[in-house]
């Protein structure tokens, strides 16, 4: 969660709502990072979770095509996610499996409905989040998309990790905005 908070700080420094995310592989290794980039990229879908999911899928594609992920591949994938303008097309792979099965998403704020949908569709196995979002949360506060029994995939949800620190980062951001 501390890595996700560091990503959130980067988002806030670029004028975006300070939300950050990281994705861990089954061994607990960080394979992707993401931060809100809506303002920075002018993209309404550039939520931290979606940015991280896209980066993780690229990393796993590389792993699957190479048999395993080298340190330079992970670094390249993270660099591409952080600086999207420097991205190149992914190398052809033997398998186009996009599923993030057995991976964990750690995010500073409860996912919204768009992000919850992306989480379900990407087959993430676990979602860990910090602060609850009573206005737009879709992991138990307003909706519970992630655990909806009508869906074909339901990740484990672990709420409230470093909740106060995550909430404080958001509160400071919005207090500064109101003062301006």
| Active-site amino acid positions | 49
Calpha distance 42→36 (Å, rounded)? 11
Residue 166, annotated ligand binder?
Answer: no
Contact 116, 145 (CB under 8 A): yes
Residue 112, annotated ligand binder?
Answer: yes
CA separation (Å) from 161 to 37, 110, 158? 23, 11, 8
- Of residues 133, 126, 162, 177, the one with CA closest to residue 12: 177
**Binding-site sequence positions for Zn(2+):** 47, 112, 115
Q: Give the annotated binding-site residues.
A: 47, 112, 115
């Amino acid at each position: 969660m501390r890595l996700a908070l560091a990503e959130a700080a980067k988002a806030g420094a670029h004028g975006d709502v300070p939300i950050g995310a990281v994705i861990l592989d089954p061994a607990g290794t960080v394979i992707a990072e993401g931060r809100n980039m809506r303002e920075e990229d002018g993209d309404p879908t550039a939520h931290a979770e979606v940015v991280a999911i896209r980066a993780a899928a690229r990393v796993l594609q590389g792993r699957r095509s190479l048999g395993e992920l080298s340190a330079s591949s992970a670094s390249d994938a993270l660099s591409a996610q952080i600086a999207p303008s420097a991205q190149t097309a992914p190398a052809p792979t033997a398998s186009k499996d996009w599923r993030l099965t057995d991976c964990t998403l750690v995010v500073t704020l409860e996912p919204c409905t768009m992000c919850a949908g992306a989480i379900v569709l990407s087959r993430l196995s676990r979602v860990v989040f910090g602060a609850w979002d009573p206005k737009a949360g879709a992991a138990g506060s307003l909706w519970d998309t992630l655990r909806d029994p009508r869906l074909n995939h339901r990740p484990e949800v672990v709420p409230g990790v470093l909740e106060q620190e995550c909430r404080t980062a958001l509160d400071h951001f919005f207090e500064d905005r109101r003062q301006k």
